[in-house]
């Protein structure tokens, strides 16, 4: 079997802010076309790491490659081939959804920016609201628009930094559907989250960031077998709370395409 080069390789990344050592040697690989969840509490250093990988911030030590490019020496190439969607949406509230998309398409020198915008509006179910100011959108719509904007130019690697933080369960389900669709289309997704159920639902592999290092990494089954029962119980309980919420609010959505994924078939 020939080894496939990882889409993201992180090797011994360290980062401090003054005397606060946030990352103390973080290492992991992400296989192409997979969804990798970086799970960590608030302040664990998830955004710090994602910003380093997107070349928006510089590591103090260690190395990393994204889409085969080195973060230190090939930053412009990485900026062309990855996209980062932050917890705080890059959406311009004064512009309409369509205008936001056209603007990004023009910035990325896409031919036919209007056509690209139309297709994304349709794909992300924003067509009806396309000509309304984004400031009037719900949290879920705004997040969908933000992710749509980040997909312009078809980046092979996408970073989603806490894509569902602040969203209600209904909107979370929508974002989850989008991530599953991206993964089934072959995009490599590095997702950060504070939510166990989100990692469980979406990720092929999960890494837990704590005390500045990866304290556990593997598939969900591997992690379950390695952790004490109490932790496993928490992992399994959290989605059912959401199920109950969805049942009583009547906002249960149809399962997203590929939602009933098996571990082996992705």
Ligand X SMILES: Nc1ncnc2c1ncn2[C@@H]1O[C@H](COP(=O)(O)OP(=O)(O)O)[C@@H](O)[C@H]1O
Which positions touch ligand X (CB under 6 A)?
17, 22, 40, 42-48
Would you give the distance in Å from CA 166 to the centre of its chain?
15
Identify whether the C-beta of residue 89 lies closer than 8 Å to the C-beta of residue 142: yes
| Residue 22 touches which member of Mg ion, ligand X, none, C-beta under 5-8 Å by kind | ligand X
Would you give the distance in Å from CA 74 to the centre of its chain?
22
Nearer to Mg ion, 5 or 41 (CB): 41
Counting residues that bind Mg ion (by CB under 5 A) gives: 2
Q: With contacts defined by CB under 5 A, name the span among 12-20, 41-49, 172-180, 210-218 that binds Mg ion.
A: 41-49
Shortest distance in whole angstroms from residue 47 CB to Mg ion: 3
Identify whether the C-beta of residue 246 lies closer than 8 Å to the C-beta of residue 252: yes
| 193 contributes a contact to Mg ion by CB under 5 A | no
Nearer to Mg ion, 98 or 143 (CB): 143
Nearer to ligand X, 177 or 212 (CB): 212
| Residue 97 touches which member of Mg ion, ligand X, none, C-beta under 5-8 Å by kind | none
Nearer to Mg ion, 91 or 129 (CB): 91
Size (the chain), residues = 266
Nearer to ligand X, 96 or 150 (CB): 150
Task: List the one residue from 10, 39, 47, 62 that touches Mg ion (CB under 5 A).
Answer: 47
Q: With contacts defined by CB under 5 A, name the span among 27-35, 40-48, 201-209, 216-224 that binds Mg ion.
A: 40-48
Helix intervals (H) in the chain: 46-53, 75-81, 97-107, 113-123, 139-150, 169-184, 196-202, 220-226, 229-249
| Interatomic CA distance for residues 98 and 149, integer angstroms | 10
Q: Which of 149, 158, 156 is nearest to 54 (CA)?
A: 158
Identify whether the C-beta of residue 150 lies closer than 8 Å to the C-beta of residue 178: no
Binding site for Mg ion (CB under 5 A): 46-47
């Amino acid at each position: 079997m020939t080894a496939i080069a990882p889409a993201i390789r992180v090797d011994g990344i360290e980062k401090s802010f003054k005397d606060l050592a946030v990352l103390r040697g973080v290492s992991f690989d992400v296989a192409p076309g997979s969804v990798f969840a970086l799970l960590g509490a608030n302040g664990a250093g998830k955004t710090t790491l994602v910003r380093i990988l997107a070349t928006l911030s510089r590591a103090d030590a260690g190395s990393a490659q994204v889409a085969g490019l080195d973060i230190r020496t090939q930053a412009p190439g990485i900026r062309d081939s990855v996209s980062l969607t932050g917890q705080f949406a890059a959406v311009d509230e004064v512009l309409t959804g369509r205008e936001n998309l056209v603007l990004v398409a023009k910035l990325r020198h896409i031919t036919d920016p209007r056509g690209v915008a139309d297709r994304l509006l349709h794909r992300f179910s924003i067509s009806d609201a396309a000509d309304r100011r984004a400031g009037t959108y719900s949290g879920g719509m705004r997040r969908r628009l933000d992710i749509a904007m980040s997909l312009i130019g078809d980046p092979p690697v996408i970073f989603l930094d806490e894509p569902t933080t602040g969203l209600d369960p209904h909107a979370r389900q929508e974002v989850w559907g989008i991530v599953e669709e991206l993964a089934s289309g072959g995009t490599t997704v590095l997702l950060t989250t504070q939510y166990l159920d989100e990692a469980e639902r979406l990720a092929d592999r999960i890494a837990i960031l704590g005390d500045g290092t990866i304290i556990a990494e593997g598939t969900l089954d591997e992690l379950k077998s390695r952790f004490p029962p109490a932790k496993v119980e928490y992992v399994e309980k959290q989605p059912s709370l959401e199920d109950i919420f969805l049942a009583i609010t009547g906002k249960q959505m149809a399962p997203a395409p590929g939602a009933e994924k098996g571990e082996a078939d992705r």
